[in-house]
Each structure stands twice: as structure tokens, then as C-alpha cells.
Chains A and B, each alone.
Chain A
Amino acid sequence: MGTSVAEQHQTSGKPGQLVEMNWDPITRIVGSLGIFTKIDFGKRKVAECHSTSSIFRGYSIFMKGKDPRDAHFITSRICGICGDNHATCATYAQNMAFGVKPPAMAEWIVNLGEAAEYMFDHNIFQDNLVGVDFCEQMVKETNPGVFEKAEKTESPHANLHGYKTIADIMRALNPFTGAFYREALQMSRMTREMFCLMEGRHVHPSTLYPGGVGTVPTVQLFTDYIVRLMKYVEFMKKVVPLHNDLFDFFYEALPGYEEVGKRRILLGCWGSFNNPDVCDYTYEKMTDWGRAMYVTPGVVVDGQLVTTDLVDINLNIRILLGSSYYDDWQSAETFVKKDPLGNPVDQRHPWNQSTLPKPQKRDFTGKYTWVMSPRWYDKRTGDYLALDTGGGPIARFWSTALAGIVDIGYIKATGHSVKIYLPKTVSLPEIELEWKIPKWSNAIERDRARTYFQAYAAAAALHFAEQALSELHAGRTRTWNDFKVPEEAIGCGFHEAVRGVLSHHVVIKNHKIANYHPYPPTPWNANPRDSFGTPGPYEDAVQNTPIFEENGPENFKGIDIMRAVRSFDPCLPCGVHMYLGNGKVLERHHSQMFGVHAPTDREIEIVRRKRTGE
């Protein structure tokens, strides 16, 4: 994190103290994320925010000319925590392009795997990474007054989770030493085992193919999965009330905290978990099978569900430039003029995008990042909406709740909420949880939704396991259907990566990939100001975030900003460069994780001497 006191800026008349604060990099997966802000300590809020990424990987370029059957193996390697989401989405696009429908058993196996992924990833991110922003050590350092209050506040649901006061919850979240932190780590290991049972290995599945899976379905396989699933279900009965108590406390202890990370309600969800009874992977029927998904796809604008139609969603995706290091492709090849239903496809659609990178020096008033600006064209108003995923869960819930379609016993969407029924487990009775549509799209609600989605995934998995077993008992154990790669084809896959919307668009010519554009949630969330000047979601959520932290510029941690950015789940936070004023770059790993102290200068010197053999 770097600080430098900038000159007086005329932001709003007050000669405020505008300080430049940068966190770069924040994440270490899916490129590097740098958040550059200008903070007004006088008005105690973030005046300006730019979101940048300084790594270019070029999947859209090197996939050209490759065998289309290899797409899911290759794109899996886009990400080291959600690679399976990519592999799955790629197989959806391949199935469409090749014209193949996997057997029902394969669909249930994939659904069980993806459910395990959500259970794994949300658990480890929420309770081993986001949780650190709310732990005792962090809260003591940033808002000591709040911690004192936490010591005196009893947890409303202590009878369910066992932590008597909010401070006890915060202590349990301390990295490496906290009891809950450690328990969550153990659970995340178990959920990865569940994934490995279904897809061979995590994070890059080995048993996934276009046309189905190679996993051998047996009673033992599903029993091993269910045994672990029931342990997770029991865990969730404690985890959901624990987080509700923690988050509700923050609203109470810091009035106005709903403004942290708040932005206009513009959410996108591309749907997850296909229903094999309805899904045949054809574009022509995509509207129907999209709606039959067990997480309903949808676009929510200002609290209203604008569409649940994947064809509609598909056609209105636009990739804008403006602040990104690329040349435009308006005059480049048009790969797809019309979709299979005869609708015209825009040149700014991923099917027609040509990626023409143009590396250059970063300039915050011009081009400053490798991320492009995906937007969704709203036919009603002509606006290019900067949709966000809120980290994934909040958008999934909001869309599913409003659509009111999902109803599988364990989960019911009511139109204003989503009810989740978790059955009796080894030492706890059955329980009903309800995620209600919140008033704001802000940091706290994104985090809250994440915990609830862990329970949603567990509940969905219970249903999928039952379906898989009934297929098994009926003798329908085939898991793969054959196909031929056509000479020319197009395909698109829509899925929810852990962090939100994920689409893969492929164009095949001469049996080879002619164009391939994956759009994970990160570009939707982390993008810069587009050519119309609309800022990206991280940027406008962090801008106008008020500062509640009690520290001044000297020991500023930026915890409120970090909570806002991390609520979007920009993958795992790690080391950071500290930039001190006069151009001196000090490499000091300022980890937001306490418990393991940062090396002292003496320790650094000892290691240096050892390495140079002194």
C-alpha cells in the first residue's frame, strides 16, 4: 500500500487533504489487480478510484487454430481456484457447437462437482480471507471503539453457533489462531475431496469432456460424496447465523455502514446447474433450458428483474473499450452475422471480437489497464449497463429469488426471497434458512449472500445426489455420448463461476477454433471507465465509500476500502508493494493476514547473508 500526499485538489470547494493511496497488487489469481484511490480525509471518503490490471495473458489469441475438443482443458488453466468453472462452461459451449447432449447421469455428476466447488471456494474465501477483515486483530487496529462494543454485545444466535459475544466471533476469525478460521480450513479440504470424487482432480478436472464425463458412477462414489456433504450441511447450520450476527452488528455499531461498497443495483447472473430433463444444449431451445437451471439466469436493474432469457442476455453483451490497452476491432472480421435464431449479432459481441493488444504506459486520464469493459445493452433505455456480479452469490440469489422458478424441496424461490431447507444431521435438527432480498447492493450484503450461498449449494447437492442415485438404480449408468467436430459451428456456454457470470463464446471454421472469447466475472467487475465514461463496478463502488476507520493517513489500512473490494471476491489477496513518497520502492510484504509477523529487518538481514554465503 502506498501513500503520497497530493497537492490540493478542487473536488468540492473544501481545501481537503487528498491523499493518494494505492493497493497493487491485491490479488494473485486472474491477473493482478491494482486499486488506485484518492482519499479525502477531511470529508472521510474516497474521492476517486481506478481499477487496473497489469497482466495480459492472451487466451483469445493463442486458442485460435487449436482443436476445439481441447478448449475445456486449456481454458481450465485460466484460473487456479475456479478452473473447473471454466472447463464446465467450455464443455457447455462445445456441446452446443458439436450438437451433443450428455446423458442425464453426466449432468448430475457435473452439477455435484460444481456444487462442491461453490461449497469449497466460498468457504475458504469467506472465512479464511474476507473474515480476516472482520477479525479481532483487524478491528482492534482500525476501529478500537467498535471492538470494545463487540465485547459487550451478545450474539443473538449464540445458541446456534456457540460464540457468546460478537467479540468472540471476531476472535475466532483471527488468522491461523482463531477456532472458526481453523475449522473452516478443515471443511475446505473436505469439500475439495467431494469435488475430486466427481471430477478426478481439483481445480483442473480430468474427467470432464464434451459429451459427458469419464467418472464411473457407483453407489460407493455417491455415498462417499453424501457422507461429506452431510458434514457440510451440519456446519452450515452454525455458519449462517454466525455471519448474520457479525454483519448485523456492523450495521448497528457503525451507522451508515451500508454506504461502504454500495453501488446502483445492476446485477448479472448467467445461471448455473443444468437440468438434464430440459437441457439439450441447442441454441434454439436455450431460452427454455436456461430458465430450467437450478440457479436462474437474469439481469436485475434497480431491483427489477429485466430478463431471464439467455438468448436475450447473450445478444446484448457488448465489449467496450475506452481505458484498455487494445486497438478497436470495428473494421476487423465479422465471424457471426446472425445467431442460430436469425437475430443480428453486434460487432462488439464476443463472437465477433478480435483481441488486438496494444501495450502502452499507464495513464489514468487515458488507458490504464488490460481489462476491457463488458457492458450489457439495455434495449429499454439504450444504456450500456456496467453490470456487476457482487462476487457471485448476491447476483445469483437476487435473480433466482425474483424469478420465483426454482422449487426442488430443498430450495424454493418465493419471488422476494429464497428458502433453503437443510435436513436433520448427526447432532442438529432440520432447519429453514431464508435469504431475503436486501435494500442495498453493498459490501456487507455481498458478504452475507456468500455465506447463504454455501448453504444453497449444499441443499442443491442433496437434490443432485438423489437424482444421480435414482439414475444409477434404474441402470442408466452411461456417462458419455459420442460426437463429431463439425467443419463450421458456433457455440456459447453460460455458467456461474464462483465469483459470478461466466460465458465462453466459440467460432469453429475448418474443424479448428477460429475465435474464442471467455468472459469471466473479473472483467465485469474490475473493468475501467468505458468509452462513454461509465466507471467500472469496483471503481464506482469504492468511490463515494465513506471512511469509518479511525486511523489517519500515517497508519491508514484502508479497511473499509478493502472490505468493499473484497466483497466482490477478486480472488485471493496476498502481498503488496509499499510505495513511499519520494520514488523509493520498498518491497515489504504487508499482509493483511496477522498471526505470522512480517519479517523484521534483522531477520531479512540474516536471510540475505545466508543467501549470499556471508
Chain B
Amino acid sequence: MAPMIPLDDQLRPTWLFGNTVHEGCDRAGYYEQGDFATSYSSPKCIVKLGCWGPVVNCNVPKRGWMAGIGGCPNVGGICIGCTMPGFPDKFMPFMDEPPGARVSSAAVGAYGKAIRALRSLTNSTVNKEPKWRHARPELTTGYHRTSY
């Protein structure tokens, strides 16, 4: 028989249960920037709308549901923790913000606001080409002709 694949302490395959939903979610960047959705329609982080991703072991957002397509929070569906032994009791009511999320989203909120402002500055800088690139007749690239 082939050797057993790596299992965690609950005898679950680590390739499926080793990481949390949050660690694989496309929208995690919004979380890091404290940018949270207030409507289920929004493409931003849905942790305040009931997503349990940060504490659920599952790799669906990373690999999609099939062939890279779909998933849960990465495509707008709150994670309800369905892979966990505590499901469903410890996750209901599903559409309420998880208790821990209130704390963590508040904490990251302040940092996030500041960081978004700073990033927006840098972003607008790098969205412009270097100063020497212009259509004016004088050459400001630092090139000096030496042929004559």
C-alpha cells in the first residue's frame, strides 16, 4: 500500500485542511486594508456580513470549487464553516458578523484607513510616468550629445 499522506491532529489531510479560508481568499487584501463590505452585493471583504473565513480550515477559496471556478467568500458567499466539526451550531446565525470579527475588523480598521491613504499616495505617484518623459522640445533625460 502507498504511504499515508500528511494528516493533521484530527486525522484530516493537510493539503485540504492545513490552511484557513482567509489564507486562501482572493478578497483577503480588502481585509488587510480595512475595507469591508456593508452589502452582500459588494466585491469587498465580507467578514462583517457573516464570513467565518479567518478561523475555518478549508482550501476552497484557494483552488475554487472545481477547475478553479467558484468557491465561497472569494466569489461572494460568506463562509459558514461547513468543513468544521463545529458546523453548523457554532456558526449560526450565519448572516451575523462573527463575534471575533467585530474586534479584529475594528483593530484593522484604523490601520487600514491610514495604510490605504498612504498607498493611494504612492499609487498615484507610480501611475505617472517619470518626469523626464514629456513632449517638450528640451531633453531632460540626462543624455548629453558628444558627437560635436
Using CB atoms and an 8 Å cutoff, list the residues of chain A in contact with chain B.
Answer: 66-67, 69-70, 73-74, 189, 192-193, 196-197, 199-202, 204-209, 211-216, 224, 477-480, 482
Contacts and interface: CB of A to CB of B under 8 A. Distances in A.
A212 B40 contact: yes
Contacts of A213: 40, 76
Given A196-B66, A200-B65, A216 B93 contact: no
B80 interface: yes
18 contacts: A69-B93, A70-B88, A70-B94, A70-B95, A73-B94, A193-B69, A196-B65, A196-B66, A196-B69, A200-B75, A201-B65, A202-B66, A206-B71, A206-B79, A214-B40, A214-B77, A216-B75, A480-B40
Nearest to A197: B69
B109 interface: no
B70 A214 contact: no
A209 B41 CA distance: 10
A101 to B, nearest CB: 14
**Most chain A CB inside 10 Å of its own CB: which residue of B65, B67, B70, B79:** B70
B10 interface: no
A425 to B, nearest CB: 22
Contact of A67 (B73, B77, B78, B93): B93
Given A66-B92, A216-B75, A482-B39, A196 B64 contact: yes
A204 B41 CA distance: 19
B111 to A, nearest CB: 26
**Most chain A CB inside 10 Å of its own CB: which residue of B69, B72, B94:** B69
B32 to A, nearest CB: 20
B43 A216 contact: yes
A79 to B, nearest CB: 15
Given A70-B95, A201-B65, A201-B71, 15 more contacts: A66-B93, A67-B92, A73-B80, A73-B88, A192-B66, A200-B70, A200-B77, A201-B70, A202-B66, A202-B70, A206-B73, A206-B76, A207-B76, A212-B40, A216-B75
B60 A201 contact: yes
Nearest to B64: A196
Contact of A200 (B67, B72, B88, B94): B72
Given A200-B76, A214-B40, A215-B75, A69 B94 contact: yes
B73 to A, nearest CB: 8
A199 B70 CA distance: 8
Contacts of B72: 200-201, 206
A70 B93 contact: yes
Nearest to A200: B77
Contact of A215 (B64, B76, B95): B76
A205 B71 CA distance: 9
Contacts of B71: 200-201, 206
B46 interface: yes
A196 B80 contact: no
Given A196-B65, A201-B77, A69 B70 contact: no
B16 interface: no
Contacts of A206: 70-73, 75-80
Contacts of A70: 88, 92-95
B82 interface: yes
Nearest to B65: A201
Contact of A189 (B43, B66, B70): B66
Interface in B65-120: 65-67, 69-73, 75-80, 82, 88, 92-95
The 9 closest A-B pairs by CB, nearest first: A206-B77, A214-B76, A196-B70, A67-B93, A201-B65, A480-B40, A207-B77, A206-B72, A200-B77
**Most chain A CB inside 10 Å of its own CB: which residue of B41, B46, B75, B78:** B41
A255 to B, nearest CB: 46
A598 B73 CA distance: 43
A208 B66 CA distance: 18
A328 B60 CA distance: 45
**Most chain A CB inside 10 Å of its own CB: which residue of B76, B78, B82:** B76
B59 to A, nearest CB: 13
B88 A74 contact: yes
A120 to B, nearest CB: 12
Contacts of B82: 204
B69 A479 contact: no
Nearest to A217: B41
A197 B41 CA distance: 16
B112 to A, nearest CB: 21
A73 B87 CA distance: 12
A27 to B, nearest CB: 24
Contact of A205 (B41, B64, B66, B77): B77
A347 B1 CA distance: 60
Contacts of B66: 189, 192-193, 196, 202
A211 B70 contact: no
Contacts of A480: 39-41
A214 B41 CA distance: 5
A460 to B, nearest CB: 21
Contacts of A193: 66-67, 69-70
Nearest to B70: A196
A211 B39 CA distance: 11
Nearest to B75: A200
B70 A197 contact: yes
A206 B60 CA distance: 11
Interface in B5-57: 39-41, 43, 46
Contacts of B79: 206
A202 B77 CA distance: 12
A200 B60 CA distance: 10
B120 to A, nearest CB: 23
B46 A214 contact: yes
A216 B42 CA distance: 8
Contacts of A74: 88
Contacts of A189: 66
Contacts of A200: 65, 70-72, 75-77
A479 B70 CA distance: 17
Contacts of A197: 69-70
A192 B79 CA distance: 20
B50 to A, nearest CB: 9
A69 B70 CA distance: 23
B78 A214 contact: yes
A204 B73 CA distance: 14
A67 B70 CA distance: 27
A69 B50 CA distance: 12
Contacts of A478: 41
Contacts of A205: 77
B136 to A, nearest CB: 40
